[in-house]
Amino acid sequence: MSGVEKRRTLQDLADAAGLSLAATSYALRGVRGSPATIERVRQIAADLGYTVDPIARALASGRTGSVGVSGSLRDLWQQDLSVLLTRALRRQGRYATIADADADPAQERLIVEQFAAQRVDGALVSPVDPTADYWRLLGPEIAVVAIGDALTTRPGTGSVLFDNRYGVQTALAHLATLGHRRIGLLAPALPSTPGRPAQVLAAALAGDLGIELVEISAPAATADAVEAATALLARADRPTAVFCLSDSLAFAVYRAARDTGLRLPGDLSVVGYDDHQLAALVDPALTTMAWDEDAIVEAAVSQLAGAVAQVPMFRPELIVRGSTAPPGSG
């Protein structure tokens, strides 16, 4: 006799509960039946050691219950966003397959191919290249929501968009009001596309504010960006402030400033663009643009389920902390 116990089936559960297969399935999922019946079926399932066979469920329903979640996870804010998306999906009885695009369009294409091969029910993506043709590999049967940038090559894709014009203008205006006229812009080294306007907007808005903008690209991860930030701060015409298009990059500027002997904010002001949970914990606390992550996640997951028709646009809020001051103060 084999020592491996036979896997319990839905029929075993139905026989033990004295119900039909359909009634047992409905009760197990909590979609039909009295509260007493639902509780009884779930208790019998626990006693029998019954677990849902995901392959059988997919074959029966044509749905896998899986949602692909993709972003560049070396960026601290996108790490947190992926966790929040996963939790929201779990509350709906769905599970996430999380993939790291690593700020690389080639890697992102492989992820899209993987999602298509796995027949995910949907995908929540923070795209590296929102204008790439590979998004079409996700067929029309897959619900897709892009967070931050619209997928211009895939008609029918849902979107949760960010008001980058307001965010960039507010951050630069804050520094200009303090008296900064030469400001560094540290941006992720990502493809320049029409769907990612923040960096393009910064150059145009800086001119309107009388700011000389020194633009420099850096890897998305904090540790990798320190070298680029150090090069910016080592210039003979060093800017008096740096506006970073992510908090991860702002933390790299903190490290570079420390290594080059610059005091924050006396010698250098820094503004981020996320309000990551570490922003309030670094010294000095980081001035940054804050997004309502909970509302963004709710909007994205609701769109994925087809519950929201319009495209929501989120506006960040300036959170002023200790990392900004007038030039040469302190």
For the entire predicted model, the pTM comes to 0.78
CA nearest neighbour of 198 among 95, 125, 271: 271
Instruction: Give the length of the chain.
Output: 330
pLDDT given for residue 56 in this prediction: 53
* Confidence band for 110, pLDDT divided at 50, 70 and 90: very high
pLDDT given for residue 52 in this prediction: 63
The SS3 call for residue 255 is: helix
Residue 223 has pLDDT above 70, yes or no: yes
* Confidence band for 194, pLDDT divided at 50, 70 and 90: very low
Distance, in Å, from the CA atom of 247 to the CA atom of 185, rounded to the nearest integer, reads: 13
Residue 291 has pLDDT above 70, yes or no: yes
Amino acid found at 65: G
Residue 326 has pLDDT above 70, yes or no: yes
pLDDT given for residue 207 in this prediction: 87
pLDDT given for residue 64 in this prediction: 59
Tell me the two tokens of residue 44.
């019998």
Q: What are phi and psi of 47, to 5 degrees?
A: -65, -35
Q: Which residue has the higher pLDDT, 149 or 200?
A: 149
Distance, in Å, from the CA atom of 101 to the CA atom of 254, rounded to the nearest integer, reads: 26
Mean pLDDT of the 100-119 span: 92
Q: Using alpha carbons only, what angle is made at residue 65 by residues 57 and 102, rounded to the nearest 5 degrees?
A: 140
CB 205 within 8 A of CB 198: no
Mean pLDDT of the 267-286 span: 96
* Confidence band for 306, pLDDT divided at 50, 70 and 90: confident
Distance, in Å, from the CA atom of 6 to the CA atom of 309, rounded to the nearest integer, reads: 46
pLDDT given for residue 123 in this prediction: 96
pLDDT given for residue 106 in this prediction: 92
Distance, in Å, from the CA atom of 171 to the CA atom of 175, rounded to the nearest integer, reads: 7
Q: Which residue has the higher pLDDT, 311 or 6?
A: 311
pLDDT given for residue 193 in this prediction: 43
* Confidence band for 257, pLDDT divided at 50, 70 and 90: very high
CA nearest neighbour of 69 among 139, 5, 126, 9: 126
Distance, in Å, from the CA atom of 309 to the CA atom of 324, rounded to the nearest integer, reads: 40
Distance, in Å, from the CA atom of 308 to the CA atom of 161, rounded to the nearest integer, reads: 14
Residue 191 has pLDDT above 70, yes or no: no
Instruction: Give the C-alpha distances (Å, rounded to integers) separating 261 from 179, 225, 229, 242, 253.
Output: 22, 18, 13, 16, 12
Say how many CA atoms lie within 13 Å of 206 toward its Cβ.
19
Tell me the two tokens of residue 281.
């914990």
The SS3 call for residue 328 is: coil
The rounded mean pLDDT for the chain is 87
Give the residue ranges of DSSP H helices in 119-261.
164-178, 198-208, 222-233, 247-259
DSSP 210-245: T-EEEEEEE-SSHHHHHHHHHHHHTSTT--SEEEES
- Summarised one tens digit per residue, pLDDT across range 151-181 is 989 988 999 999 999 999 999 999 999 999 9
The SS3 call for residue 99 is: strand
Distance, in Å, from the CA atom of 225 to the CA atom of 217, rounded to the nearest integer, reads: 9
Distance, in Å, from the CA atom of 88 to the CA atom of 215, rounded to the nearest integer, reads: 37
